[in-house]
């Protein structure tokens, strides 16, 4: 499998007929982004698009970040504010490039604080697991120094 088979886009979209829900999905092709002029309630509104080299890994991280808000995994539906869903995707610790950010979400002052909060939390969890690993290694070293009878 070559590298291009792993690249693609994570997309966050909403629909006016599904208030309080966001759809998160992955696609190998970028979505068509149109200006929000349609009054058709079933018309998807693309709120955020990010390009990832490790698309399936990124999707897994995004699903994990929003797991407590899951409504329907097959449909990619989550009960979440679009700003929160965008922050969950943007805070993923994988190389990615923002392709599109809806101006309404970009203007939300909570977006960047939520991204920063998620990144701080992830760093804290990483530090905790690193400390657990170091402690386990020290215990193994100490145990190996004890003479066996």
Quote the pLDDT of residue 132: 95
Rounded to a whole number of angstroms, the distance between the first and last alpha carbons of the chain is: 53
Mean pLDDT of the chain: 89
Q: Which two tokens stand for residue 131?
A: 């400390």
**Digit-coded pLDDT (tens) for 4-52:** 458 999 999 999 889 999 999 999 998 888 766 666 777 888 999 999 9
Q: Is 115 exposed, middle or buried (0-12, 13-18, 19+ CB in 10 A)?
A: middle
Element (DSSP H or E) covering residue 138: helix 110-145
pLDDT band at 149 (very low <50, low <70, confident <90, very high): low
Quote the pLDDT of residue 38: 61
Q: Which of helix, strand or coil describes residue 108?
A: coil
Rounded to an integer, what distance in angstroms lies between the CA atom of residue 55 and that of residue 53?
Answer: 6
Q: Are 64 and 31 in contact (CB under 8 A)?
A: no
Domain boundaries, the chain: 3-145
- Average the pLDDT over each of 1-5, 108-112, 133-137, 139-143 and give the range with the smallest value: 1-5
Q: Which residue has the higher pLDDT, 70 or 39?
A: 70
Residue 20 φ/ψ region, left for φ over 0, alpha for ψ in the -120 to 50 degree band, beta for the rest: left
Q: Which two tokens stand for residue 99?
A: 């392709």
The stretch 100-114 carries a mean pLDDT of: 92
Is the pLDDT confidence value at 103 over 80? yes
Percent of the chain with pLDDT over 90: 68
């Amino acid at each position: 499998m070559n590298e291009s088979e792993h690249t693609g886009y994570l997309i966050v979209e909403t629909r006016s007929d599904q208030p309080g829900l966001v759809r998160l999905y992955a696609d190998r092709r970028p979505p068509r982004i149109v200006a929000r002029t349609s009054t058709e309630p079933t018309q998807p509104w693309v709120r955020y698009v990010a390009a990832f080299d490790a698309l399936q890994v990124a999707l897994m991280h995004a699903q994990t970040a929003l797991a407590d808000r899951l409504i329907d995994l097959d449909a990619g539906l989550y009960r979440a504010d679009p700003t929160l869903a965008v922050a969950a995707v943007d805070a993923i610790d994988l190389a990615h490039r923002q392709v599109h950010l809806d101006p309404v979400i970009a203007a939300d002052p909570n977006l960047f604080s939520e991204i920063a909060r998620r990144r701080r939390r992830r760093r804290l969890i990483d530090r905790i697991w690193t400390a657990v690993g170091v402690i386990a290694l020290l215990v193994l070293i100490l145990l190996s120094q004890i003479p066996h009878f």
